[in-house]
Amino acid sequence: MTQLLIRRELLNEIIDHCKEVYPNEACGILAGRGGIIKKIYRAVNVDDSSVTYRIEPFQVLKNLKQDGLEMIAVYHSHPHSEAYPSLIDVERASDLDSAYVSIYVIVSLMHEEPEVRAFATSDRKVREVELIVS
């Protein structure tokens, strides 16, 4: 996938979630079809950390199935760093997470205005994915 399409109100929901759990990392699932985000599912950061996140995916996956949507991406925040995958992000993406998804949306709260970027990861390589906000 080379691009993701998301409505402004959904992106605002993600940013709000990230601000609400600050200074910890927020996390959740982006769902839809064909690269178009239709719904977000907030998740609890099991790590309860400002530098890592971990999602317990089972309830979210159950809700996705009930809603008839596909998991398209995972989102999380970087409260104190840039909107770019950390080494831990890349390592975890190469492990279990990659069985579910390979696109990651990162929200940086490092500056006054949040920065949001999307990335694909495979074989420990990172490639930016165009995030189109409509």
Active-site residue 25, yes or no? Answer: yes
- Overall number of domains in the chain: 1
Give residue 48's pLDDT: 96
Tokens representing residue 96 in the block: 């279990």
Q: Which residues of the chain have pLDDT under 70?
A: 94-101
Helices (H), 6-134: 8-21, 57-67, 87-94
CATH number at residue 61: 3.40.140.10
Q: Could you list the residue range(s) of the whole structural domain that residue 63 is in?
A: 3-133
Give me the phi and psi of 83, to 5 degrees please.
-85, 70
pLDDT (0 to 100) of residue 74 = 93
* 106-116 confidence digits (pLDDT tens): 999 999 999 99
Report the pLDDT value the prediction gives residue 62, as an integer from 0 to 100. 85
| Residue 133 in tokens | 């906000």
For residue 103, give the nearest of 86, 118, 123 by alpha carbon: 118
H/E element, 106: strand 103-108
Q: Which of 9, 13, 20, 25 is catalytic?
A: 25
